[in-house]
Structure 1
Amino acid sequence: MTLSRRSFLQASAALTTTLAAPSILHAKTDTIRIGGLHDLSGAIDSSGVPMDKALRYAVAELNAAGGLLGREVEAVTYDPQSNMSLYSQYATQLALKDKVDVVFGGITSASRETIRPIFHRYKTLYFYNCLYEGGVCDRNEFTLGTTPAQTIAQLVPHVMGLWGKKVYIVAADYNYGHISAAWVKRYVEENGGELVETEFFPLDTTQFGSSISKIQGAKPDIVYSLLVGTAHLGFYRQWAASGMKGEIPIASSSFGGAGTENVMLTPEEGNGMVVATGYFPSVDNAANASFKAGIKTFYGNDAPILGEISEVTYESVKMWAQAVSETGATERMGIIQELEKGKSYDMPAGKVAIDPDTHHTIRDVYIAELKDQEMVIQKTFNAVQPSDTQMVCNLSKDPDSNKQFEISL
């Protein structure tokens, strides 16, 4: 049943939120406290804002249904502003001062690797909800976003079959971009293709003219994009303005993850791009229909544009809450052991299960084409394993693991 906006607002009155400031409202002692740590300002706020809204909506939905264990759920959230020092500060505060039972947060891999060891050290359960490059092995963390083996492995042969075998990579200049580019190279070569060149761009890069000229001279069949964040949208706009959009098509496993990029580009700039992620709003199932209707009712005109990382944030809160209900407590190890049972969940993104050995998800993956700002699903892959991370992580054998492994390619 879709609850009214009024009901949600009444149920979520206990939510406390901080934006740029580290101070928070005093909590009620009888609430269950969870933490949120997403960039609401800074270079990647276009990703952080939808994630924060999905978390708040999930909490309001829980409270509208009576809370957990007879108590309201309270969200304590901070804006680290894409600043790693603030990530470290707020993670420590959530664990030691706010004493939350669980934290949902981090966007870039750099932010995750800043806060993950803090939560591991202080035994605060942590959910990371972004598509990323794979390899994290930490029993205290659950990683719900897609990895290269789930998206890039499906997308590369698909677009090579459509467009040709010569591939040029443009990628964000941090570990997500570098490691994911290596995976693209591997899958291109495994499918009989040729990697022409790879270029990396800092997150604040906005001018791509010289790169576009290089691509034009290299004459690839495909540009594969691993660009990230609002500044990098300049590439697609300048690509279309240069007249290259009609000459060389673009594929991406990072575009659309936040759900906002497709509507930030005009149809003239974006149409024809082919993308793979673990969720699109066009997924056709009852859970997704309810999710979209509910979040639209809750936020009205401020409803977020949905993508993988916002939907996965919602998933993570719901999975954690179900484990709390099933164990009858918020105790960390009890929740971990409950989620390690490998249950399948009917989520807006489709069937989702936790792989006990890696704490990553086994999930459906979709390939879609961007048409007039809408992602139109072309192909579905069911129950795709995080096989890249399974190569290096086995928490059943090594439950004390606490690192991100570099996966040998």
Structure 2
Amino acid sequence: MNLSRRQFLGSTLAVSAVSMTASFPGIASAGSDSVTIASLYDLSGPLDVYGVPSNMCTEFAVEELNKAGGLLGKQVVLKAYDCQSDINKGPQYAQQAALRDRAVMAVGALTGAAREATRPILHRYKVPYFYGSIYEGGACEQNIFCCNTEGNQQVVPLLEWSFKNLGKKLYYIASDYNAPRVFGLWNHVMAKRAGGEVLADDYYPLDVTDFTAAIAKIQAAKPDFIHSCLVGGPSMSFYRQWAAAGMLDKIPIISIIFGGGRESEILSPQETNGIYAAYNYFQELDTPQNKAFLARFAEAMGQDHSYINGEAIGGYNTVMLWAECVKRAKSFDRDAVMKAWESGITWEGPGGTMATDASTHHTTQDVRIIKVENRVWSLVETKSQIRPDNYGGRCDVFAHPSQTDFLMPQI
């Protein structure tokens, strides 16, 4: 995937790292005229299709803040690391960001595996982790602030709609790592609620490109619809082979990840038409806030910028929600920022109203069910202001301040 000129040059955002003589990680030096934040996205490798647009949106958020005068009298500097689609790079670069760059906040490490490898490092050094990827839910600790949709905000409304409108028999095909497996549990939760049935949980390594056997299994199972959580460039082969088998018009496909990797742009309309997805944001969203955002984005980043989907927008939302916390706290200190989040902040973003949730460190937000035709997404249904899941009270940073365990949905 080609990177834009801005992403490599970084324009005014690319400056030298903060001196090693600065104070403890996460504390901005009083004498400095800038403050550093770190991004840990995959800018190369098979996951760059997600990481590059997300980092682009992060860069734009920083540019907007600095254009408006910065934060607390300081310019915001973005230190962008390339995690190279390697989960081991996340914790390595997180430590560098904390100790060398003295970053006051970090974003990125987008996959579930990368996040779970990285967040203990940021927790140790008290660098607030503003996580902007769509994800399975269950990350519940004081140092993480989840700014995109989680399982009950994305897969739950999509499955509610699908069991009502497409049928009761679901076939799940997914990449084989922790996030898709947890999403797989949500299938069973929702099937139980809706009187549906999960016919199969079918997982494949990230590098698989031949789905001939998988398609034969689906045809034999005869589901009413397919739930796909196939991630990464190689997995696009499934959609191409599914269409070539003449199945695209016969069994509908839903997904909480399709489109996030630019599948609907890279594949032909004949390979993607009619696929449903669920996101908090899509670029065609017809609201005044989004139109204004896109105009500013095009002016700053160029008219030919990459499509901004529900995954990429997390790169913008994380920085802006963090900035709102800094403004209310009047400080870059981790604990002050955390208290600001917990005080309750409402922010109007490109996707609509987002509100911080104190006890879960997640956000309340709108989610849209959308459908692609001829590479254009259209709105099917809006689910307004879905609150985050507290996992039956298990996700509560006040009741469980030392908790770092990953929580799982209960069937």
TM-score by length of 1: 0.92
Alpha-carbon shift at residue 147 of structure 1 (Å): 1.5
Rounded to whole Å, the distance in 2 between the matches of 1:102 and 1:45 is 22
Residues 324-369 of structure 1, C-alpha deviations (whole Å, 9 max, x = no match): 2222221111111011112221111111111111101111011011
Give the aligned partner of residue 267 of structure 1: 269
Asked if the contact 2:40–2:109 (Cα under 8 Å) also holds between the matched residues in 1, the reply is yes
Q: Please state if 1:123 is matched with 2:126.
A: yes
CA apart distance, 1:96: 0.8
1:49 corresponds to 2:62: no
Runs of 4+ in 1 over 6 A off after TM superposition: none
What displacement does 1:186 show?
Answer: 1.9
Equivalent residue, structure 2, for 1:345 = 347
Q: Distance in 1 between matches of 2:399 and 2:340?
A: 18
- Structure 2: which amino acid aligns with 1:14? T
Whether the 8 Å contact between 2:37 and 2:104 is mirrored in structure 1 is yes
**What value does the CA root-mean-square deviation take over the aligned residues?**
1.8
Q: What residue number does 1:61 align with?
A: 64
**Matching residue of 1:223:** 226
* SS of aligned partner of 2:80: strand
Indicate which of 90, 93, 117 corresponds to 1:90.
Answer: 93
Tell me the distance in 2 between the aligned counterparts of 1:264 and 1:254.
15
Q: Is the 8 A contact 2:360 2:396 kept in 1?
A: yes
Partner of 2:388: 386
Residues 91 and 118, structure 2, Cα contact 8 Å, conserved in 1: yes
Q: In the alignment, is the contact (CA less than 8 A) between 1:39 and 1:47 conserved in 2?
A: yes
Q: Secondary structure of the residue that 2:367 maps to in structure 1?
A: strand
The letter of the residue matching 2:13 is: L
Identity %: 36
User: Does the C-alpha gap of structure 1 residues 269 and 354 become closer, same or farther in structure 2, counting only changes over 3 Å?
Assistant: same
The 5 Å alignment of 1:3-402 reads 13-16=11-14, 25-27=16-18, 29-258=32-261, 260-387=262-389, 389=391, 391-402=393-404
CA distance in 1, matches of 2:385, 2:398: 21
Do the aligned residues in 2 keep the contact of 1:358 with 1:389 (CA within 8 Å)?
Answer: no
Matched with 2:23 is none
CA distance in 2, matches of 1:250, 1:304: 24
CA distance in 2, matches of 1:354, 1:325: 14
Q: Say which SS state the counterpart of residue 302 (structure 2) adopts.
A: helix
- Cα pair 2:209 2:235 within 8 Å, conserved: yes
AA partner of residue 298 (structure 2):
K
Helix, strand or coil for the counterpart of 2:148?
Answer: coil
Distance 2:357 2:377 in 1: 28
Please tell me the residue identity of whatever aligns with 1:44: L
**Deviation (angstroms), 1:30:** 2.4
Return the alpha-carbon distance in structure 1 between the equivalents of residues 328 and 390 of structure 2. Answer: 31
Q: Distance in 2 between matches of 1:57 and 1:398?
A: 35
Supply the distance in 2 between the matched residues of 1:322 and 1:74 (Cα, whole angstroms): 17
Amino acid at match of 1:330: F
CA-CA distance at 1:210 after TM superposition: 0.7
Greater shift in the superposed pair: 109-118 or 157-166? 157-166
Secondary structure in structure 1 of the residue aligned to 2:270: helix
1:297-334 deviations in whole A, cap 9, x for unaligned? 22215412111122122111111112222222211111
Spell out, residue by residue over 1:93-147, the C-alpha distance to the aligned partner (whole angstroms, 9 max, x if none): 0011111100011111110011100000011111111111111111111011211
Asked if structure 2 preserves the Cα contact closer than 8 Å seen for 1:133 and 1:148, the reply is yes
Tell me the secondary structure at the aligned position of residue 159 of structure 1. helix
Distance 1:125 1:251, change over 3 A: same
Mapped partners of 1:343, 1:269: distance in 2: 42
Q: CA deviation at 1:43?
A: 1.8
Give the match's secondary structure for 1:34.
Answer: strand
Displacement of 1:13: 4.0
SS of the residue 1:149 aligns to: helix
TM-score by length of 2: 0.91
Unpaired segments ≥5 residues, structure 1: 1-7, 18-24
Maintained 8 Å contact 2:17/2:101: no
Q: Report the alpha carbon displacement of residue 40 of structure 1 after superposing the two structures with TM.
A: 0.5
Aligned letter for 1:320? Answer: W
Local SS of the residue matching 1:99: coil
How many angstroms does 1:390 deviate by? 5.6
Q: What is the CA–CA distance in structure 2 between the aligned matches of 1:172 and 1:253, rounded to whole Å? A: 13
